Every structure is written in C-alpha cells, then in structure tokens.
Amino acid sequence: MTAEKLYRDSLAIQRDLGDHIGMSQVLNNLGGIAFLSGDYAQARHLYEESLGIQAEISDLRGAAVSLANLGDVVQELGKLEEAKRIRQESLDIRREIGERHFVAYDLYKLGETTAALGQWREASDYYLQALQLSMEVKVLPVVLNALVGLAVLWSHQGNSRPALTLLEFVLDHPAVEREVRDRAEPLRAELASELGSEVIAEAQAKGRTRQLEEIAEYVWAQARA
C-alpha cells in the first residue's frame, strides 16, 4: 500500500469524524506527495483545500504551513509575484504567533523568490535577515542556505571573490545537506574556472578556516561596503 493510499484512507476517516485539524494535516501531506511527483496543479488544489479548512477553524499555525508549501508550488509554476505574496502571508502569520525559527525560513524563501524576480537588493535584505535570525535561533540549514543565496547574488553582481569565500565555507561545513551542496557546487566550479589559482587559494583559506561567527562578520562587512 502506497503512502498516498494510506493518507487518502486517513483523510476519509478524518472527514467522517469531522476532525478539521486532522483533515488539514492529511491534505498537506497529500500535497507534499503531489509536489514531489511534479503534479503541481494537484498539490496546489490540496494545499488550498487545507487552507480553507484552517481559515474556518482559525488555525494560524496550520495556515502558515500550508501557505509556505503553497508558495513552493506557485513558484514552481512560474507565478513569482503570487509566490512572493503567499510567502509574505506565511511570514506575517509566523511573526504574529512567534515562531522565530520558521520566520527565518520564510525570510530565506522570500530571498529566493525575489532573487528569481531579479529584485537583487530586496533579495539581499531577505537573505541577510534570514542569516541573522537563523543564527540567533540556531537553525543551521537556513544559515547555510542564506549564505549560498548571498553567494549567488554576489556572483551576479560581479563580486566573485567574496561569493567564492562563502561557498568554500558552506561546502566545507560538516552539517551541509545534500540539497545545499547541490546548489553550491556548480557555482563554485563556475567561479573557480573564472578566477586564478591564487584567488581560489585565498578564498579557500578564508572560507575553510573561519568559524560561523567570523563568516557572518565577513558578510556584514561586505553588505556595508
């Protein structure tokens, strides 16, 4: 029996019981399966159905989850302005209910969306906010993702050396996840092919020998420059 079949059976039970929270959670799980399979239209439908239930019962925490997931779907559909609006809604709710670790995540995702829109300054602001907050609340995956996002922006702006320094730090970090590594490695290879061996060695020395707090100070200094 597949996970989707189990969730659909569970959804039928939740509907019979009138368990609105249970229904919205299962709909989110089904939306995740549809999203991973590339069926974005179905994922959107499921997340929106979940949101409708959460609105009825004033489930702010659940609504923030559904909105964050919906933002991913809408961005994959290429509707970037709509994705930005949805992500902002999720961020506003999470700020209201005080979920600071998820606030950091939403700030990072807004950085990704605004970067895709070519809104570089706004994207940089979101990444910097995500970096600062994720360091405060100790959400390391967001820290590393925000650093890669900044490296991408800096490379677009012609700041290849500091971008490479950030990538060297991220890729050398023991907690780097596969998804982050897969984003960072192609850009590092591209930048390395453009820069001389001395510059590469310098970036490696700066990136691989510094602690996170030192890299953060390096980022703030670059942002102020």
Task: Select from 3.40.50.850, 3.40.50.300, 3.40.50.410, 1.25.40.10 the CATH code of 1-79.
Answer: 1.25.40.10
Dihedral class, residue 18 (left if φ above 0, else alpha if ψ from -120 to 50, else beta) = left
Question: Can you tell me the distance from the alpha carbon of 123 to that of 107, in angstroms, rounded to the nearest whole number?
Answer: 9
Local confidence band at 205 (pLDDT 50, 70, 90 cut-offs): confident
Residue 10, burial from CB neighbour count under 10 angstroms (0-12, 13-18, 19+): middle
Mean pLDDT of 145-168: 94
Range with the largest mean pLDDT of 13-27, 145-159, 199-213 = 145-159
- Encoded amino acid at 144, one letter: L
Helix axes 160-172, 197-209, angle to 10 degrees: 50
Please state, in angstroms and rounded to a whole number, the distance separating the CA atoms of residues 191 and 42.
Answer: 39
CA gap 192, 164 in Å, rounded: 8
The fold adopted by the segment(s) 99-225 is 1.25.40
pLDDT of residue 210: 81
Distance CA 195, CA 160 (A): 8
Looking up tokens 């069926």, which residue turns up? 39
The lowest-confidence range among 37-46, 88-97, 198-207 is 198-207
Task: Tell me what percent of the residues of the chain surpass a pLDDT of 90.
Answer: 78
Among the ranges given (11-15, 128-132, 205-209, 219-223), the one the predictor scored with the smallest mean pLDDT: 205-209
DSSP state of 175: T
Task: Please report the pLDDT score of residue 1 as a whole number.
Answer: 63
Q: Which of 59-68, 115-124, 199-208 has the lowest mean pLDDT?
A: 199-208
Question: Which whole number is the average pLDDT over 128-151?
Answer: 97
pTM of the model: 0.92
Instruction: Name the band, by pLDDT with cuts 50, 70 and 90, for residue 196.
Output: confident
State CA 146 to chain mean position distance. 8
In the chain, domain spans: 1-79, 99-225
pLDDT at 200 over 80: no
Torsional class of 99: left (φ above 0), alpha (ψ -120 to 50), beta (otherwise): beta
The mean per-residue pLDDT over the stretch 29-48 comes to 96
